[in-house]
Amino acid sequence: MLSIKNLHASVEGKEILKGINLEIKAGEVHAIMGPNGSGKSTLSQVLAGNEAFEITGGEVTLNGDNLLDLATEERAREGIFLAFQYPVEIPGVSNLQFLRTAVNAMRKHRGEEEMNAAEFMKLAKEVSKQVDLDPAFLKRGVNEGFSGGEKKRNEIMQALLLQPKLAILDETDSGLDIDALQVVSNGVNALRAEDRAILMVTHYQRLLNHIVPDYVHVLAGGKIVKSGGRELALELEERGYGWLGIKDEDTSN
């Protein structure tokens, strides 16, 4: 589904990604772990199409099509979804309006009829229950005044509404207490499907207790330095990153 070959990217002239190679097939769940500053979030942002990052080499294809040629909104319509590490607050745009506009943009792209306000309200209420978010949040501004956990649940709610082909979860576990982590994980697990891939970017392995990945990759210094199965995450938890020759002062769980 997603194929990344020798991807290089930089921001403000500084190279962050230094040759990433990664293959993700439909139905798979991959976890990318790594210390702070290793390039995890950059990879997420680059895949979603943030123009603040400059692609300096390599290629990325989604189901064989060149992803890097597509504008951000086109990538989303082709099925890329990024759950933001720091979801943006947009006062003045109601969550409901935002979600409905997004869902209808997707439907329009697929040649489906747009949902009217009443139809969408029904759907949104159902999905909000799935992530344990009070439907009252629908009326508020996008993420406006939401707690950290509420923002993350709102991200997962969007994924559930938009039904992407590839969901990228950027540090979705950060700032969550154990109950919220459970809710978010249930939401992500509900996304798992044969025709969908999930890429989790995380600093800590605790999320992986709830969402069990098929593959784990370690990103360090802008490259994937080690790949393995689920057991790699456990090993990292036990031994830290040091045994891989990676310095990470911040990774003391």
Partner 1 sequence: MKPAPTLSSAFLHPAGQTLPEPLLALRKQRASALVDMPLPTRKTENWKYSSKYLNLSDDMAISLPAEGKAGTSLAIPGYKVVFTNGVMIPEASEYPDMEGIFIQSFSDLNDAEAQALSQKLGGTLNHEQAQFARVNGARFEDGLLIHLKPGAVLDQPLFIIHNTAADSSGSAYPRIYVDAGANSQMTLVEEYTSNGEASVLVNTVTEFNLADGARITSVRLNMEGEQVQHIGATGVLQAQSSRFESHCVGFGGQLRRHDLQVRLEGEGAETKLNGVVVTQGKQHYDNHTSIDHVAANCNSEETYRNIAADQSHAIFNGRIHIHQDAQKSNADMNNKNLLLNNGAEIDTKPELEIYADDVKCAHGATIGQLDETSLFYLVSRGIGRREANVLLTMAFINELVSQIPVQAVRETAQLRLNDFFEQTFQEI
Q: Smaller CB distance to partner 1: residue 124 or 233? A: 124
Shortest distance in whole angstroms from residue 246 CB to partner 1: 30
Shortest distance in whole angstroms from residue 132 CB to partner 1: 21
Distance of CA 4 to CAs 28, 41, 62, 90, 110, Å? 15, 15, 9, 32, 25
Q: Smaller CB distance to partner 1: residue 181 or 188? A: 188
How many Cα atoms occupy the beta-carbon half-sphere of 150 within 13 Å? Answer: 17
Shortest distance in whole angstroms from residue 201 CB to partner 1: 15
Measure the CA–CA gap between 108 and 131, rounded to whole angstroms: 26
Query: Side chain identity at 159, as an amino acid letter?
Result: A
Measure the CA–CA gap between 218 and 216, rounded to whole angstroms: 7
Backbone φ and ψ for 206, nearest 5 degrees, come out as -60, -30
Ramachandran class of 34: left when φ > 0, alpha when ψ lies in -120 to 50, beta otherwise: left
Q: Smaller CB distance to partner 1: residue 91 or 242? A: 91
What is the contact surface with partner 1 in residues (CB under 8 A)? 48-52, 71-73, 75-77, 81-82, 84, 87-88, 90-93, 97-98, 101-102, 105-106, 109, 141-142, 158, 162
Q: Smaller CB distance to partner 1: residue 141 or 175? A: 141
Q: Smaller CB distance to partner 1: residue 159 or 219? A: 159
Shortest distance in whole angstroms from residue 81 CB to partner 1: 8
Shortest distance in whole angstroms from residue 100 CB to partner 1: 10
Q: What residue has token string 């956990």?
A: 149
